[in-house]
Amino acid sequence: MTATTTTTVTTTSGGHCSKSYRRGGGCGGGVMLIASILVLSVHYGHAQDFGYDGEKGPSHWGEQYNSCTGKHQSPININSLDVKKVNLPPLVFQGFNVAPKETNLTNNGHTVVVTMDSEVTPTVSGGPLAGMYEYSQLHFHWGDNDTFGSEDMIDNHRFPMELHIVFFKQEYKNARTALNHPDGLTVLAFFYEIAPVDNPMYDEFIALLGNVTGSHLSARFETPPSLKDLLAEDLLHYYTYDGSLTTPPCSEVVTWIDFKEPILLSHAQVQAFRALEDEEGHPLTHNFRPVQPLGDRVVLYNTDELIKQVELDEEHPPEPEGVDTNKLDTHKSASEEAKSPKDPSNRKQPRNDAVSILPGTTRWTLLIVALTLISTIVQC
């Protein structure tokens, strides 16, 4: 997945360093601020610079982003015979069937991103989530042909495309600050499968792709679709595990929720995505990261079949391995339980490179702030 947010950089009390300098305070702080700003802009440059082939490709991401070599990375292959079956509290979707006031489609050079401005911001809670998560954006991953393109795999099967709907935990205010928290984001992921006929819910969407072929182009929906219009029907059966962003900085802050039922699109509809261009004007024919080691993680599979089984077999209630329905009463326990017994801290500390997703304008702002501070310090 890719996270994109907008950030405002504010500077306070610029030119008062001589006073603080005599007291031995202000200038040092300025130097540290400059240092961190420079680090951030360096990382920012590289985050925009990643790609899916050669020197910029996934095997090189770890050179600039330590998190990309972490132990709890995404995507993964989910082995359906090796998941822990659970019956989590229901996922609660709010605002999913409300058509937004305004919806934009933007080619960011890596994928196409949908942002919306809605009277009711969509939120998701429940299931494996502790707390309320707010919609940030959605985007897609695809491959050169219909035989691959999804990021997560199910039983070594790749789907032609995958949808990522990114939500940040509301208490962290926005997607950028959420990257500093191990439970900062959740991504609702849907796989696509090829159907013989067009999916009419995607008609305007696919048509608009033709307006954003070039990198950094945007187009506005005439009739914004609600989130629900774009999804599959069955929202009960899903896999869930703790992982990372699938693009730099690969922060390990994502509760993944991968729905089992795919969304259907025709070949021509999926093909339309492959006509988009990257920042160098080359066709963006594939933008998925290879699967990463599962490591000590356990993937949960949410289903109601456990309950049905109990109902059918009252005399001999089954005791499926690792499933303790009492523990599922509290929101987080099931997924916490699923974490490694070997490594109680489990999730890595998020890194500073999280801020590398700052948008282009912010980079210049940071540069100007840095130069201003340098001149301030020179005066000191």
Ligand X SMILES: *[C@@H]1O[C@H](CO)[C@@H](O)[C@H](O)[C@H]1NC(C)=O
Among 110, 139, 141, 164, the active-site one is 110
Residues 163-182 that bind Zn ion (CB under 5 A): 164
Check if the beta carbon of residue 141 is closer than 8 Å to that of residue 149: yes
Check if the beta carbon of residue 67 is closer than 8 Å to that of residue 244: yes
| Residue whose tokens read 């191990």 | 182
**Listed residue (253, 251, 350, 358) closest to 37, CA to CA:** 358
Residue nearest Zn ion (C-beta atom): 1
- Determine the Cα–Cα distance for residues 168 and 224; give it in Å rounded to an integer: 22
Near ligand X by CB under 6 A: residue from 40, 116, 230, 254: 116
Q: Which is nearer to ligand X, 228 or 267 (CB)?
A: 267
Report the nearest approach of ligand X to the CB of residue 144 (Å).
5
102 binds ligand X (CB under 6 A): yes
Near ligand X by CB under 6 A: residue from 7, 66, 177, 218: 218
Instruction: Answer whether the bond into residue 249 is a cis peptide, omega within 30°.
Output: yes
219 binds ligand X (CB under 6 A): yes
79 binds ligand X (CB under 6 A): no
- Determine the Cα–Cα distance for residues 49 and 356; give it in Å rounded to an integer: 11
Stretch that binds ligand X, among 67-75, 114-122, 305-313, 342-350 (CB under 6 A): 114-122
Stretch that binds ligand X, among 10-18, 159-167, 217-225, 251-259 (CB under 6 A): 217-225
Residues 229-248 that bind ligand X (CB under 6 A): none
53 binds ligand X (CB under 6 A): no
1 binds Zn ion (CB under 5 A): yes
Q: Which is nearer to ligand X, 283 or 295 (CB)?
A: 283
Report the nearest approach of ligand X to the CB of residue 78 (Å).
22
**Listed residue (264, 230, 252) closest to 353, CA to CA:** 252
Stretch that binds ligand X, among 42-50, 111-119, 245-253, 347-355 (CB under 6 A): 111-119
Check if the beta carbon of residue 133 is closer than 8 Å to that of residue 122: no
Q: Which is nearer to ligand X, 145 or 177 (CB)?
A: 145
The item of ligand X, Zn ion, none sharing an interface with residue 203, based on CB under 5 to 8 Å by kind, is: none
Stretch that binds ligand X, among 34-42, 113-121, 163-171, 268-276 (CB under 6 A): 113-121
220 binds ligand X (CB under 6 A): yes
One character per residue 184-213, x = contact with ligand X (rule: CB under 6 A): ---------------------------x--
Q: What are phi and psi of 316, to 5 degrees?
A: -125, 70
The item of Zn ion, ligand X, none sharing an interface with residue 1, based on CB under 5 to 8 Å by kind, is: Zn ion
Residues 299-328 that bind ligand X (CB under 6 A): none
DSSP string covering 336-372, please? HHHS-SS-TT-SPPPPGGGGGG--HHHHHHHHHHHHH
Q: What is the largest CA-CA distance in the chain?
A: 83
104 binds ligand X (CB under 6 A): yes
117 binds ligand X (CB under 6 A): yes
Q: What are phi and psi of 131, to 5 degrees?
A: 105, 180
Strands 153-154 and 77-78: parallel
6 binds ligand X (CB under 6 A): no
Residues 121-150 that bind ligand X (CB under 6 A): 144-145, 147
Query: Which DSSP category does 84 fall into?
Result: E
CA 319, 322, 326, 327: dihedral to nearest 10 degrees? Answer: 180
Q: How far is CA 241 from CA 73, 298, 346, 348, in A?
A: 10, 7, 12, 15
Q: Which is nearer to ligand X, 116 or 300 (CB)?
A: 116
Q: How far is CA 131 from CA 93, 174, 183, 241, 253, in A?
A: 13, 14, 10, 17, 14
361 binds ligand X (CB under 6 A): no
| Residue whose tokens read 């109902």 | 311
Report the nearest approach of Zn ion to the CB of residue 164 (Å).
4
**Listed residue (190, 342, 205) closest to 263, CA to CA:** 190
Q: Is 164 a catalytic residue?
A: no
Q: Which residues contact ligand X (rule: CB under 6 A)?
A: 102, 104, 115-117, 144-145, 147, 211, 218-220
- Residues taking part in catalysis: 110
In the complex, which residues of this chain contact Zn ion (CB under 5 A)?
A: 1, 164
